């Protein structure tokens, strides 16, 4: 029962709705329309729209075309731009579409001054496409048989509209499907092109306002190819130590094009690439021997190719491949020097021979051993002694005399030229003069005055002077025509170095001239410890030890002794740095004195610990001078007393 009434109620409700829709259909139906509908307009052009009222609409309360109000978005268009065509049509004109916006609506002021919207259109303003320019294409080889062509162009100014670009290409007698760019508007890739036929390529741009075409490009794709780089590069060493042979496979067949190459190489670890002269690799090939290399050195090679006649683009550089040249015999003998120890007896020497290992570009391989020959020049009868060592030093016991030492370095290929050192019985030739040093740019420069005779070379020795370690000698050779050099080696600041310069002549050696030097000085790390040796009434003898080399940090230029009483001023006395004793005088007796010493280098001074002492109350002999007369006086009084007593008795 209830459900039946429900159904009836629903049915009536629906019917009413349908009827009301029909009745109000006149209001829901649009009162007019605008032409053109959804126009696309060129920027800056002029535009006229018409709003046409429906006849049926006019019945609803006196609606006429002259009541129409045009609006852009929500701004009213000025009435000067309107024109009433007739009772039902109104037009609006815009001289410059750049002032237009969307939507453009046609509205009417109906009875009761209520503005009602009649119709609206979306207006799109933009520009026709500009002619695409700068069209250029390149064919990238992707695999042995695949050659896609990528073209790029300048799409021109922004059009504010949806603009489509197509890359079009054809042969004189054959058309191909257009290339449509994906996601971009300035490039397109054609999946495969044929060679040796002229291809005409151009770009077409189109949007709702028009079309534009670029100038056509006519090319044979074989002339714009970027080939794949050669691959499977192998490097082989041959018989010669300065040559490496490269082989590779080309990935572009000779039927397509002939290639020319660029080969570059560098030593492993270096960043400088060296190019093989391009004219040597300007023709088709699959191998090449690179010459002029260093022996026993690892090189990295890379190669690229392009069309033999130079038309097109170079490929990328191939993957790098390394190879090692074979060994060659050493190019130079090692520099030699010696330390002679005559401490045990002057007639018998302990000679420490030392030589420097060759640099890789001189060693040309792994040095396996050194052959040392010692020939006594003073006695021609004894044969030369030969030694074979694999270290860079040798210690021998020799009798006093003149010797010629030769060192030859051997690697697996052969022997170096000999290096010769003459050890004369005495260093009797002229020495250098005036050895001086100068710290410069973080290095220590040593200079000297050249002796008058012709010097073959100089040997500079240096060692670090320290109390805690031995003076280990380092050395270097210098050519005979220089007068100064920088010490090669790790020279530390604040440390004292003993530097000796020896001139070597063809037939002898000059004695070494030494100098001490610092790369950089500092104030001493400790001050001298002063104490008294002897204290008197008005004087005190102070004594101290010199600072050790490790404490000095520089050359000690002076000492200063500071002494004062408890409530007095401090007095300073400067002392020569060679002294170890000093006598203070004119002191007050029986007074507590505090004394300290400062040592100075060129960079500053440091004070030692304080030392206190008390001057004596009485000077030397003062006590005797008082006690003896007092005793004598006492003795005299006693004697006089005794004598007086005796005198009295007698009476």
Residues that bind another protein (CB under 8 A): 145, 171-174, 192, 194-197, 220, 222, 253, 255-256
Q: Is 218 exposed, middle or buried (0-12, 13-18, 19+ CB in 10 A)?
A: exposed
Evaluate the CA torsion angle 628, 629, 631, 635 in order and state its sign.
positive
Task: Specify the residue, 286 or 483, whose C-beta has the smaller distance to another protein.
Answer: 286
Task: Specify the residue, 176 or 644, whose C-beta has the smaller distance to another protein.
Answer: 176
Task: Specify the residue, 45 or 198, whose C-beta has the smaller distance to another protein.
Answer: 198
Q: Are 220 and 197 in contact (CB under 8 A)?
A: yes
Helix (H) or strand (E) holding 460: strand 457-465
Q: How far is the CB of 194 from another protein (least distance, A)?
A: 5
Q: How far is the CB of 249 from another protein (least distance, A)?
A: 17
Task: Specify the residue, 253 or 381, whose C-beta has the smaller distance to another protein.
Answer: 253
For 45-50, the CB contacts below 8 A with 24+ separation are: 45/97, 46/93, 46/94, 46/95, 46/96, 46/97, 47/93, 47/94, 47/97, 47/100, 47/123, 48/91, 48/92, 48/93, 48/94, 49/91, 49/92, 49/104, 49/106, 49/121, 50/85, 50/89, 50/90, 50/91
Task: Specify the residue, 100 or 179, whose C-beta has the smaller distance to another protein.
Answer: 179
Q: How far is the CB of 310 from another protein (least distance, A)?
A: 17
Contacts of residue 434, defined as CB under 8 A and 6 or more positions apart, other chains included, come to 448, 449
Q: How far is the CB of 139 from another protein (least distance, A)?
A: 14
Task: Specify the residue, 252 or 584, whose C-beta has the smaller distance to another protein.
Answer: 252
C-alpha to C-alpha distance for 276 and 245, rounded to whole angstroms: 13
Q: How far is the CB of 198 from another protein (least distance, A)?
A: 8
Q: Are 561 and 529 in contact (CB under 8 A)?
A: no
Contacts of residue 217, defined as CB under 8 A and 6 or more positions apart, other chains included, come to 135, 136, 137, 200, 201, 202
Task: Specify the residue, 162 or 223, whose C-beta has the smaller distance to another protein.
Answer: 223
Nearest to 233 by CA among 256, 263, 269: 263
Evaluate the CA torsion angle 488, 489, 493, 494 in order and state its sign.
negative
Q: How far is the CB of 257 from another protein (least distance, A)?
A: 8
C-alpha to C-alpha distance for 103 and 38, rounded to whole angstroms: 9
- Helix, strand, coil distribution of the chain in percent, nearest 5: 15, 45, 45
Q: How far is the CB of 180 from another protein (least distance, A)?
A: 18
Q: Is 339 exposed, middle or buried (0-12, 13-18, 19+ CB in 10 A)?
A: middle
| Dihedral class, residue 392 (left if φ above 0, else alpha if ψ from -120 to 50, else beta) | alpha
Q: How far is the CB of 219 from another protein (least distance, A)?
A: 12
Distances in whole angstroms, Cα of residue 368 to Cα of each of 79, 362, 415: 106, 14, 10
Q: How far is the CB of 181 from another protein (least distance, A)?
A: 22
Q: Are 410 and 451 in contact (CB under 8 A)?
A: no
Q: How far is the CB of 173 from another protein (least distance, A)?
A: 5
Q: How far is the CB of 171 from another protein (least distance, A)?
A: 6
Task: Specify the residue, 191 or 481, whose C-beta has the smaller distance to another protein.
Answer: 191
Contacts of residue 590, defined as CB under 8 A and 6 or more positions apart, other chains included, come to 537, 614, 615, 616, 617
C-alpha to C-alpha distance for 456 and 507, rounded to whole angstroms: 10
Q: How far is the CB of 231 from another protein (least distance, A)?
A: 20
Task: Specify the residue, 126 or 221, whose C-beta has the smaller distance to another protein.
Answer: 221
Task: Specify the residue, 249 or 341, whose C-beta has the smaller distance to another protein.
Answer: 249
Task: Specify the residue, 181 or 221, whose C-beta has the smaller distance to another protein.
Answer: 221
Task: Specify the residue, 174 or 183, whose C-beta has the smaller distance to another protein.
Answer: 174
């Amino acid at each position: 029962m209830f459900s039946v009434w429900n159904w009836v109620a629903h049915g009536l409700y629906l019917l009413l709705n349908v009827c009301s829709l029909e009745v109000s259909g006149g209001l829901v139906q649009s009162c007019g329309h605008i032409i053109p509908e959804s126009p696309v307009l060129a920027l800056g052009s002029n535009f006229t729209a018409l709003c046409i009222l429906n006849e049926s609409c006019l019945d609803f309360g006196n609606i006429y075309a002259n009541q129409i109000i045009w609006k852009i978005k929500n701004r009213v268009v000025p009435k000067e731009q309107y024109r009433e065509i007739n009772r039902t049509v109104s037009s609006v004109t815009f001289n410059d579409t750049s002032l237009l916006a969307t939507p453009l609506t046609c509205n009417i002021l109906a009875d009761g001054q209520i503005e009602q919207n009649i119709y609206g259109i979306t207006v799109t303003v933009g520009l026709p496409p500009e002619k695409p320019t700068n069209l250029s294409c390149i064919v990238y080889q992707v695999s042995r048989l695949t050659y896609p062509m990528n073209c790029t162009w300048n799409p021109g100014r922004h059009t504010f509209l949806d603009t489509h670009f197509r890359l079009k290409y054809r042969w004189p007698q054959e058309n191909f499907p257009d290339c449509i760019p994906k996601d971009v508007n300035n490039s397109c890739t054609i999946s495969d092109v044929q060679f040796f036929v002229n291809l005409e390529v151009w770009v077409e741009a189109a949007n709702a306002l028009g079309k534009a075409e670029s100038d056509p490009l006519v090319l044979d794709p074989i002339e714009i190819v970027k080939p794949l780089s050669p691959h499977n590069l192998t490097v082989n060493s041959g018989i010669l130590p300065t040559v490496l042979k490269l082989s590779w496979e080309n990935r572009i067949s000779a039927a397509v094009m002939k290639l020319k190459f660029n080969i570059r190489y560098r030593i492993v670890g270096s960043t400088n690439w060296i190019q093989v002269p391009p004219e040597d690799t300007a023709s088709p090939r699959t191998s090449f021997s690179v010459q002029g290399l260093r022996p026993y050195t690892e090189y990295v090679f890379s190669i690229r190719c392009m069309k033999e006649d130079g038309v097109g683009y170079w490929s990328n550089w191939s993957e790098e491949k390394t190879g090692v040249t074979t060994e060659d015999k050493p190019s130079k003998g090692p520099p030699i020097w010696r330390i002679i120890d005559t401490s045990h007896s002057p007639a018998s020497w302990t000679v420490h021979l030392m030589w420097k290992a060759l640099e890789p570009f001189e060693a040309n391989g792994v040095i396996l051993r050194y052959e040392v020959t010692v020939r006594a020049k003073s006695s021609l009868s004894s044969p030369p002694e030969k030694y074979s060592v694999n270290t860079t030093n040798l210690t021998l016991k020799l009798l006093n005399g003149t010797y010629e030492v030769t060192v030859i370095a051997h690697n697996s290929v052969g022997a170096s030229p000999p290096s010769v050192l003459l050890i004369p019985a005495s260093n009797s030739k002229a020495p250098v003069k005036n050895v001086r040093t100068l710290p410069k740019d973080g290095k220590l420069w040593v200079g000297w005055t050249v002796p008058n005779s012709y010097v073959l070379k100089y040997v500079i020795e240096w060692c670090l002077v320290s109390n805690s370690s031995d003076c280990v000698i380092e050395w270097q050779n210098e050519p005979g025509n220089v007068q100064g050099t920088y010490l090669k080696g790790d020279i530390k600041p604040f440390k004292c170095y003993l530097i000796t310069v020896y001139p070597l002549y063809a037939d002898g050696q000059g004695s070494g001239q030494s100098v001490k030097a610092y790369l950089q000085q500092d104030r001493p790390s400790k001050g001298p410890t002063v104490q008294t040796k002897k204290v008197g009434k008005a004087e005190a003898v102070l004594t101290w030890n010199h600072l050790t080399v490790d404490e000095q940090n520089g050359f000690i230029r002076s000492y200063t002794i500071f002494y004062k009483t408890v409530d007095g001023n401090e007095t300073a006395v400067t002392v020569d740095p060679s002294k170890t004793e000093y006598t203070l005088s004119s002191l007050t007796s029986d007074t507590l004195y505090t004394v300290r010493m400062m040592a100075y280098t060129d960079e500053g001074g440091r004070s030692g610990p304080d030392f206190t002492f008390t001057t004596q109350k009485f000077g030397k002999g003062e006590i005797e001078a008082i006690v003896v007369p007092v005793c004598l006086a006492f003795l005299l009084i006693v004697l006089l007393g005794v004598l007086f007593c005796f005198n009295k008795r007698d009476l």
